[in-house]
A and B are shown apart, each in its own frame.
Chain A
């Protein structure tokens, strides 16, 4: 007999997992194209949440507008980030240096530095304390389905995430820019030889990845009811874990692993105090890195 509470936890876990998945896609896209890790991705998420909050407090538009605004700002943030923290290190145009170790480590550090600055600036502007979302926008209204009680937030996150995933698939496989992203991801040099503007593809990748990240931020803000300048850190790490578990450049892998991670976290709160919840993600990370260096769904292109 399935414990109803347990099912409840799984549903909560799937919601959290979808949020991680949205972020993980950003990581995965960027990694796929440039072979770099964008450490400032968590801050894009925070930016999304704060833009949503500002909009809600100033203009109070419908929910859809808030999410669309977060998407737009996310795209702009992503492009800005790419220009500031990644572009300056892409000095060479040959394939080896585009994906060299020096490039990887320099951008790792530069995006880390960018993330510190962004987070601290947001702390300065908004204060380190929690900001609460106005009641009217909270996605915490309970909906009863038989004995289960979910919130409208769960429904919105499910709907929005699935819509965005579908849009992403469409974009990647049915549009020109999607084609160029996939081409650059396969081989930057090859893409250049067939006349693809790699720089544009890279910018598009950052824009798309950051859009999803920012949307995740505002959705979580509305779902949890509070946002802080530090909120991006933990989901950022977890999304990263999902990317690694998923095999680095596999979007379906990352999504599935993000869901596994969300559910695992949610279920552990059954057994452990919630403070230990974060340990689950880190344990997954270490186990994955040590035992499945190519990721659980790894395509085996890169190896540790």
Chain B
């Protein structure tokens, strides 16, 4: 296909197979032998965040739109799945795609008026939208039960098979995560991904080359919200309980930090960022409530020392080299007002 594309860790088939073996055999096997339902829960959470971070990466990393409201769409997915299954008794196979679709559709509706905004304006608009979703979840008590949250969400069920153990749940989440990653990597490592990257690098120029920049942004945002919704549904069905506090601004920042640390625009980087920010705080758990402090500090250090994260679109080393040169000089188009 597009030969000179930066291959990325996920590209070669061997590596893909290796990763699949690790995710589906080695990791669960190890966790089983150490014997921990709790460890499976962490692994499941990590995978849900892999989907979230990878979906945010499509919008923020590849397309270059800083979104500060991703947790809102995650919440829409979670509440859709929770309400559909508790109120209407719909099965997981129906609630999962519907959760994604509802988040995706709301994402597109939100994107339609805001996509003409650039840079920080867009970031702040998404922040506002994320908080609006949170306020709605919190206050629309008839529908969402407000701060009480929704309890007793049925666990995952597929064709009569019920995911009864944490291992089962882990496997279902892992499968969904792998499919999502496949789709997102397909989107980014393709000509379509190139179009999105062009929008990130220089939207005016992309426009002059015949790309419908606004449409591309809306598509990317919608797709990203779709996967955030999928992640939300997984959270609802594996956690059994959701409340608005799980979908606040701080969670959006948490997801953003994962993408930033891992490297904007790089899927493998994103996965590493998630592992770093989920596992490190868990390891530090004994030391107290350092989770968010760790998140903030890691994010700060990575912005300061590795402006493009661990595996950003241009490699970190390359960037360190250029840090004092071209990379920080004026961005083309910065003379055209606020771009």
Contact = CB atoms under 8 A, between A and B. Distances in A.
A109 B296 contact: no
A110 B303 CA distance: 7
Contacts of A244: 121, 124
Contacts of A96: 329-330, 334-335
Contacts of A65: none
A97 interface: yes
Nearest to B110: A286
A113 B330 contact: no
A158 B286 CA distance: 47
A293 B300 contact: no
Interface in A211-261: 233, 237, 240-241, 244
Contacts of B292: 116, 119-120
Given A91-B324, A113-B257, A286-B129, A101 B334 contact: yes
Contact of B135 (A100, A101, A106, A279): A279
B253 A112 contact: yes
Interface majority SS (helix, strand, loop, mixed), chain A: helix
Interface string B282-309: 0000001110110111011001100100
Q: Give the interface centre of B113, B128, B136, B307 by most chain A CB atoms within 10 Å.
A: B128
Contact of B128 (A109, A115, A286): A286
Interface string A259-303: 000000000000001011011001101100110010000000011
Contacts of B216: none
A289 B125 contact: yes
A273 to B, nearest CB: 7
A304 B118 contact: yes
A88 B304 contact: yes
A41 interface: no
B214 to A, nearest CB: 13
Interface string A106-125: 10111011111101110110
Contact of B139 (A116, A275, A282, A302): A275
A102 interface: yes
Given A289-B121, A293-B121, A275 B330 contact: no
Given A100-B330, A302-B337, A303-B337, A285 B124 contact: yes
B129 A304 contact: no
Contact of B253 (A99, A116, A241): A116
B330 A97 contact: yes
A188 to B, nearest CB: 13
A264 to B, nearest CB: 15
Contact of A110 (B125, B293, B300): B300
Interface string A76-101: 00000000010011011010110111
A199 interface: no
A155 B304 CA distance: 44
**Max chain B Cβ within 10 angstroms of own Cβ: one of A102, A121, A241:** A102
A269 B135 CA distance: 15
Contact of A117 (B118, B297, B303): B297
Given A116-B295, A282-B132, A289-B124, A97 B328 contact: yes
Interface string B108-142: 00000110111111011101110110011011000
Interface of B: 66, 113-114, 116-121, 123-125, 127-129, 131-132, 135-136, 138-139, 249-250, 253, 256-257, 260, 288-290, 292-293, 295-297, 299-300, 303-304, 307, 323-324, 327-331, 334-335, 337-339
